[in-house]
């Protein structure tokens, strides 16, 4: 009789420990996932800010020497983006393309469709981040089994 009770208690304790471990694993997974998305969003906003700064400085700078230095710095910035698997597109207010770079062989048309959908009546912004230089919008898209997070401003 005591052996039966001992066996039941052992099985019950094992189930309780496994349940607690599963709860801990699920909690850690959710927290890491949320933290990962927040870090990704922060990096996207920083990269969008730097890209916007480069465009503004290029437009306002007339000095050839300064433009040469900025071009070198901008090339390093582009390499950093590509090595981080970040693609980007720059359009003017009329929708004309300035520059488009993608590490995922993402076709221009698909990024242009994403750009178009950002400015439609019902934008699909997952998150809006207010900064001193304006608002940044984070969008979530799926394309060819890839989940894309897009930052627009």
Q: Over the stretch 100-130, which tens digit does the pLDDT of each residue have?
A: 666 666 666 766 666 666 665 455 667 788 8
11 pLDDT higher than 70: yes
The verdict on residue 92 lying in a domain is yes
For tokens 């390499």, name the residue.
79
The verdict on residue 118 lying in a domain is yes
Helix (H, G, I), strand (E, B) or coil at 134: strand
Q: Which domain holds residue 99?
A: 9-152
How big is the CA angle at 35 (ends 31 and 39), to the nearest 5 degrees?
Answer: 175
Work out how many domains the chain is built from and give that number.
Answer: 1
Average pLDDT rounded to a whole number, residues 19-44: 87
The verdict on residue 2 lying in a domain is no
Query: Structure pTM?
Result: 0.64
Nearest to 136 by CA among 30, 57, 52: 52
Kindly list the strands in the beta sheet with 134-143, ordered across the sheet, starting from the edge strand earlier in the chain.
125-131, 134-143, 146-152
């Amino acid at each position: 009789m005591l052996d039966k009770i001992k066996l039941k208690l052992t099985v019950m304790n094992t189930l309780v420990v496994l349940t607690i471990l599963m709860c801990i694993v699920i909690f850690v997974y959710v927290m890491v996932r949320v933290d990962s998305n927040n870090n990704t969003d922060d990096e996207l906003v920083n990269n969008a800010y730097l890209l916007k700064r480069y465009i503004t400085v290029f437009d306002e700078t007339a000095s050839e020497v300064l433009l040469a230095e900025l071009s070198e710095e901008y090339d390093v910035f582009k390499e950093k983006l590509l090595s981080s698997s970040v693609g980007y597109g720059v359009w003017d207010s009329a929708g004309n393309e300035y520059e488009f770079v993608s590490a995922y062989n993402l076709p221009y048309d698909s990024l242009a469709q994403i750009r178009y959908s950002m400015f439609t009546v019902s934008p699909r912004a997952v998150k809006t981040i207010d900064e001193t230089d304006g608002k940044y919008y984070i969008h979530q898209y799926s394309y060819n089994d890839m989940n894309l997070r897009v930052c627009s401003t």
